[in-house]
Amino acid sequence: MPAMYTRSLTVPNHSFFLFGPRATGKTTWLREHLGDARWFNLLLEADYPPLLGSLRTLRERVEARPKGSWVVIDEVQRLPALLNEVHDLISRHGADYRFALSCSSARKLRRMEVNLLAGRVIEREMFPLTANELGADFDLDTILRVGSLPGICAEREYRIDRLRAYVHTYLRQEIQQEALVKDLGSFHRFLRVAALMHGQVINQAAIARDAAVSRTTVQRYFETLVDTLVGFILPAWQAKAKVREVGKPKFYFFDPGVVRAIGERADEPLGDTESGALLEGFVLHELRAAMSYSGRGGELCYWSTPGSKEVDFIWAKGQRRVGFEIKSSRAWRPEYAKTLNELLASKYLTRGFVVYRGRDRVRSGTVSGLPVEEFLRALRTEEVFGDS
């Protein structure tokens, strides 16, 4: 089945891991681009049991293919030992066979000392749909309400039901298995609290109290959300700008629709109190996707002091450091750019942007204020990440 939306990711001419949360479109994209490959879908009973019974089955079936063939192993985390076979096949045959290894949970791969094929397989990421990929279907209010998972964007009548199903069948069942949860109720309570903390500094003690679990359990649950790629930890930047800085990280879910579905708000109108954090999370998603799909790389963090100064996101690579402030207001205020201008004047930043929901592009000092849609277009140019 062809993809409804054209994705920005391209197939490398090299064996690769494809990481991404469940339902971001990895399998659809692989089917579109590598439909003629030899497929092993480890979610299917036809493929999983034979490989579980004998890993050598992979070798036998791959080596029967002509040289130059692609091999796709979908949801490889279900049988991590297969990576030893892939390693050996690459060692024996070089580039005669190329592997696409999709994975919606890095937990088993990274926490069980699994062979990650270092130096032999490169990594790619798949995100929910970006504004560029949505094209004419992009609508910011809709994205903040229901997110941008491909199946949700393509669905009109039952998108709320599908969001709820995603939360119930994936987050509350499969991730519970990943976390080795003994008390299923504790993980459910944690998810509800974590959704309320979307975009905030992680306070493990407060979350443990509200979710009625231990701090070590909170830490393990957060690690599980990150390892299963539905959560992202944003570290604090230590600028040492002659002030005491906040050092605790922030946490974001990967999709605003999922956040609202966890909090049982998916069918409610978007509230003013939640729109700020949801907009932050959406811009973070767009930044991460732009960094990944373009191959630009770099690192993301935030900066804050115990007082009122904060920069929502800082992208850093080499000597370049770009700061981003995200405001859900539709009216421009000069104070939005104050902290960015201070850090620019002190040479801690090389460029600064305020992203807000108004209509007009503005300039405040050396900071550019951009409407959301204009900023999203600028992400595809050199204006945001470039050298000048």
* Interval 38-54: pLDDT, tens: 999 998 999 999 999 99
Q: What's the pLDDT score for residue 3?
A: 42
- The pLDDT value given to residue 2: 38
Structure tokens at 269: 């109108």
pTM of the model: 0.93
pLDDT score at 246: 61
* Placement of tokens 């393509």 in the chain: 154
For the chain, the average pLDDT equals 91
Between 106 and 269, name the one with better pLDDT: 269
Q: Give pLDDT, residue 171.
A: 79
C-alpha–C-alpha distance, residues 276 and 282, integer Å: 10
Mean pLDDT confidence for 156-180:
83
99-113, 138-152, 263-277: which range is least confident on average?
99-113
Q: CA-CA distance, 166 to 83, in Å (whole number)? A: 28
Instruction: Report d(CA 53, CA 373) in Å as an integer.
Output: 52
Mean pLDDT of 236-244: 66
pLDDT tens digit string along 188-226? 899 999 999 999 999 999 999 999 999 999 998 999 899
The token pair that represents 19 in the structure block:
């990481």
The residue-averaged pLDDT of 20-39 equals 95
User: CATH 3.40.50.300: does it fit domain 16-125?
Assistant: yes
- What lies within 8 Å, CB to CB, of 115 at 6+ separation is 83, 84, 87
Closest CA to 256 of 134, 334, 148: 148
Task: Please check the confidence at residue 181 and state whether its pLDDT lies above 80.
Answer: no
pLDDT digits (tens, 9 = 90+) for 57-83: 999 999 999 999 999 999 998 898 899
pLDDT surpassing 80 at residue 261: yes
Share of the chain above pLDDT 90, in %: 77
Residue extents of the structural domains in the chain: 16-125, 131-230+254-270, 281-385
Residue 116 has which token pair? 């990650």
Residues 222, 208: Cα–Cα separation, whole Å: 12
Tokens of 142: 């809709």
According to the model, what pLDDT value does residue 172 have?
Answer: 76
Q: Which pLDDT score is estimated for 1?
A: 35
**Residue 255 above 60 pLDDT?**
yes
Residue 280 has pLDDT above 90, yes or no: yes
Residue 244 has pLDDT above 60, yes or no: no
Strand-pairing partners, residue 73, are 40, 101
Can you name the residues that pair with 296 across neighbouring β-strands? none
Query: Which pair of tokens denotes residue 367?
Result: 């900071």
Share of the chain above pLDDT 70, in %: 92
User: Which residues neighbour 98 within 8 Å (Cβ) at sequence distance 6 or greater?
Assistant: 13, 14, 15, 69, 70, 71
The pLDDT tens digits of the residues spanning 286-314 come to 999 999 999 999 999 999 987 778 999 99
Q: Is residue 248 within 8 Å of residue 202, measured between CB atoms?
A: yes
Instruction: Indicate the SS3 state at residue 146.
Output: helix
CATH number of 281-385: 3.40.1350
